[in-house]
A and B are shown apart, each in its own frame.
Chain A
Amino acid sequence: MGGRTKPALSAGDSFQTIDTSGLTGVVEYEPSEFTFTARAGTPIEEIERMLGEKNQSLPFDPVLAKQGATLGGTVAAGVSGPGRFRYGGVRDFVLGVQLVTGDGQVVHGGGKVVKNAAGFDIPKLMVGSLGRLGIMTQLTFKVFPRPRSSTTLAARCESHVQAIGQIRRAARGRWEAGAIDYLPDDNTLYIRLVGPAAALDGLAKEASETFHAQRLSEASADAFWQSFLSWECWEGSPWVARVPLTSQQFLDLIPELQQLGVRSHLSCAGGLLWLGGDAETLVSCHELFARQGLTGLLLRHIGTDSFGDVCVIGKPWSHEPARRLQKVFDPDERFPSLTGCVVAGVEHIEGNVRE
Chain B
Amino acid sequence: MSIASPKTSADRPARVLPAGLDQIIPADRCQQDAASQAAFESDGLTAFRSKPLAVVYPVTSEEVVAIVRWCASNGVPFVARGSGTSLSGGSVPVPGGIVIALNRLNQILRLDADDRYAVVQPGVINQHVTDAARPYGLHYAPDPSSQSICTIGGNVAFNSGGAHCLKYGMTSNHVIGIRGVLSDGQEIQLGGPTLETVGPDWTGLFCGSEGLFGIATEITLRLLPSAEAFHTVLVGYRSLEAAGDAVSAIIDSGLLPGAIEIMDALAIEAAEAAVACNYPPGAAAVLIVELEGPAEKLACEREELEAILQRTDPFAVHVAANSEERLSIWKGRKSAFSAVGRISPDFLVQDGVVPRSRLGEALKEIERISKASGIRVANVFHAGDGNLHPLILYNGSIDGQWERAEEVAAEILRMCIAMGGSITGEHGVGLEKKAFLPDMFDEPTMQLMKRIRQAMDPSLISNPDKMFPGDSTH
Using a CB–CB cutoff of 8 Å, the interface residues on chain A facing chain B are 30-34, 55, 78, 80, 84-85, 88-89, 91-92, 101, 105-109, 111-122, 124-130, 132-133, 144-146, 148, 168, 171-176, 195-196, 198-200, 202-203, 242-248, 268-272, 295-297, 312, 317-318, 320-322, 324-325, 327-329, 338
Contact = CB atoms under 8 A, between A and B. Distances in A.
Nearest first, the 8 closest Cβ-Cβ pairs linking A and B are A124-B204, A244-B194, A199-B296, A196-B300, A324-B455, A116-B422, A174-B228, A145-B254
B172 A124 contact: yes
A120 B193 contact: no
B382 interface: yes
Nearest to A324: B455
Contact of B455 (A124, A312, A321): A321
Contacts of B200: 78, 125-130, 132-133, 322, 325, 338
Interface string B429-455: 100010001001110110111011111
18 contacts: A78-B201, A92-B173, A105-B448, A106-B444, A107-B448, A113-B420, A113-B422, A114-B356, A117-B424, A118-B424, A122-B449, A125-B204, A127-B200, A172-B136, A173-B137, A203-B294, A242-B196, A272-B194
Contacts of B255: 145
Contacts of A338: 199-200
Contacts of B169: 88, 92
Contacts of B251: 32, 34
B385 interface: yes
A328 B455 contact: yes
B202 interface: yes
A128 to B, nearest CB: 5
B113 interface: yes
Given A116-B425, A295-B198, A105 B297 contact: no
Given A121-B205, A328-B448, A114 B385 contact: yes
B455 A113 contact: no
Interface string B252-263: 101110000000
Contact of B208 (A92, A121, A270, A327): A121
A172 B116 CA distance: 8
A243 B227 CA distance: 29
Contacts of A89: 195-196
A244 B114 CA distance: 15
A64 to B, nearest CB: 16
Contact of A32 (B202, B248, B297): B248
B132 interface: no
Contacts of A144: 256
B207 interface: yes
Interface of B: 112-116, 136-138, 158-159, 161, 165-166, 169-170, 172-173, 182, 186, 188-190, 192-202, 204-205, 207-209, 225, 227-228, 248, 251-252, 254-256, 293-294, 296-297, 299-301, 351, 353-357, 382, 385-387, 420-429, 433, 437, 440-442, 444-445, 447-449, 451-456, 467
B449 to A, nearest CB: 5
Contacts of A270: 115
A246 B256 contact: no
A325 B204 contact: no
B196 A115 contact: no
Contacts of A196: 297, 300-301
B429 A119 contact: yes
A176 B225 CA distance: 8
A130 B209 CA distance: 22
B195 A272 contact: yes
Nearest to B193: A246
B427 A84 contact: no
Given A128-B199, A246-B115, 14 more contacts: A31-B252, A89-B195, A105-B444, A105-B447, A108-B442, A114-B166, A118-B437, A118-B440, A120-B452, A125-B201, A195-B297, A268-B196, A271-B195, A324-B456
Contacts of A107: 442, 444-445, 448
B277 to A, nearest CB: 25
B452 A148 contact: no
B197 to A, nearest CB: 6
Nearest to A295: B198
A124 B452 CA distance: 14
A272 B423 CA distance: 36
A127 B172 CA distance: 13
Contact of A173 (B225, B429, B440, B441): B225
B429 A172 contact: no
Nearest to A90: B201
Given A105-B448, A321-B455, A115 B382 contact: yes
Given A105-B444, A116-B422, A117-B161, A172 B293 contact: no
Given A195-B293, A199-B299, A116 B182 contact: no
Contacts of B204: 91, 121, 124-125, 127
B440 A32 contact: no
Given A121-B172, A145-B256, A270-B115, A318 B456 contact: no
A111 B357 CA distance: 16
Nearest to A327: B455
B182 A321 contact: yes
Nearest to B160: A117
Contact of A171 (B116, B190, B193, B227): B116
B173 A120 contact: no
Nearest to A88: B173
B423 to A, nearest CB: 5
Nearest to A314: B198
B424 A246 contact: no
A202 B296 contact: yes
Q: Most chain-A Cβ atoms within 10 A of its Cβ — which of B182, B205, B429? A: B205
Contacts of A247: 114-115
Nearest to A269: B116
A322 to B, nearest CB: 7
A84 B293 CA distance: 18
A130 B188 CA distance: 21
A115 B423 contact: no
Contacts of A129: 199-201
B225 A174 contact: yes
Contacts of B194: 244-246, 268, 271-272
Nearest to B296: A199
Contact of B445 (A108, A113, A133): A108
Given A172-B225, A176-B293, A117 B425 contact: yes
Given A32-B248, A115-B386, A271 B115 contact: yes
A80 B456 CA distance: 29
B386 A113 contact: yes
Given A118-B424, A125-B204, A148 B199 contact: no
Contact of A199 (B170, B297, B456): B297
A133 B199 CA distance: 11
Contacts of B357: 30, 32-33
A55 B198 contact: no
B250 to A, nearest CB: 11
Contacts of B112: 246
Nearest to B293: A176
Contacts of B195: 84-85, 89, 244, 268, 271-272
Contacts of B182: 320-321
